[in-house]
A and B are shown apart, each in its own frame.
Chain A
């Protein structure tokens, strides 16, 4: 890793906020945007990052938490 490159642009509290919103059931990016009162572009970007970080998976715009067995 060159020169201490950051792995994520999200804070732990932001990650927790996303996970809590979809903890009960999967949701679309638009639904998450409404629930979190965040702009849709930001939610889409952050959800992509959460997938890359291994927290979420997406199927047909339904975002769900990856639960460890």
Chain B
């Protein structure tokens, strides 16, 4: 195959990668990703302003925003709409539903940010961003990615739970089991040797189900 026939596709950011840097016009002025250094960030895309699912999501994102801020986590929306459209939409949401949108929204008309983050899936729509969620930590490393299709609104409780679980892992070097919520026991890393496995099964400070599966209370 000649080099002329090789199509180079952009590599989408993955978990553990540095978040792609950008500078973008938003409803709250020009923002750079680096402005968020030191805090966690949820960068989320929506397909379009003045559409039904997106409107319910914006209200729901605003509802969890105070809880996210308590977790040192900011919210930043994005879609391929103009800043004037965003302003008109957030004003409409406040007028019709009494919810003031307090987080900024990127006006990504040239798709610069959307393309960097792989938020446009041409199989579904080549002109709209899908419902992507990137959880970025305080060092600007991507810690989780969620993609939802245009048709399906996201679950805010899960996004909140995800941030709490990621921060628990980051702060305490533990894992979290299925359906974990704060207050539940966490999982300790499995032993790396036969010797440690022997010690693990006799460790009375843990809830040991088997040598590789043990839980403990998190003392905060």
Chain A residues in the interface with B (C-beta under 8 A): 9-10, 39-42, 44-46, 48-49
Contact = CB atoms under 8 A, between A and B. Distances in A.
Given A41-B39, A44-B35, 20 more contacts: A9-B28, A9-B29, A9-B30, A39-B39, A39-B74, A40-B39, A41-B31, A41-B35, A41-B36, A42-B28, A42-B35, A45-B28, A45-B30, A45-B31, A45-B32, A45-B35, A46-B29, A48-B32, A49-B29, A49-B30
Contacts of A10: 29
Nearest to B33: A41
B184 to A, nearest CB: 30
B103 to A, nearest CB: 10
Given A39-B74, A41-B74, A48 B36 contact: no
Nearest to A47: B35
A10 B29 CA distance: 8
A14 to B, nearest CB: 10
Smallest CB-CB A-B distances: 10 pairs = A9-B29, A41-B35, A44-B35, A41-B36, A45-B31, A45-B29, A45-B35, A49-B29, A41-B74, A40-B38
A10 B35 CA distance: 17
Contacts, number: 31
A40 B39 CA distance: 9
Interface in B21-49: 28-32, 34-36, 38-39
A65 B193 CA distance: 61
Contacts of B34: 44
A45 to B, nearest CB: 5
13 contacts: A10-B29, A39-B39, A39-B69, A40-B38, A41-B35, A41-B36, A41-B74, A42-B28, A42-B35, A44-B32, A44-B35, A45-B32, A46-B29
Max chain A CB contacts within 10 Å: which of B28, B31, B35, B39? B35
A48 B30 CA distance: 9
B64 to A, nearest CB: 16
Contacts of A46: 29
A15 to B, nearest CB: 12
Nearest to A46: B29
Interface string B67-83: 00100001000000000
A36 B33 CA distance: 21
B48 to A, nearest CB: 22
A41 B76 CA distance: 11
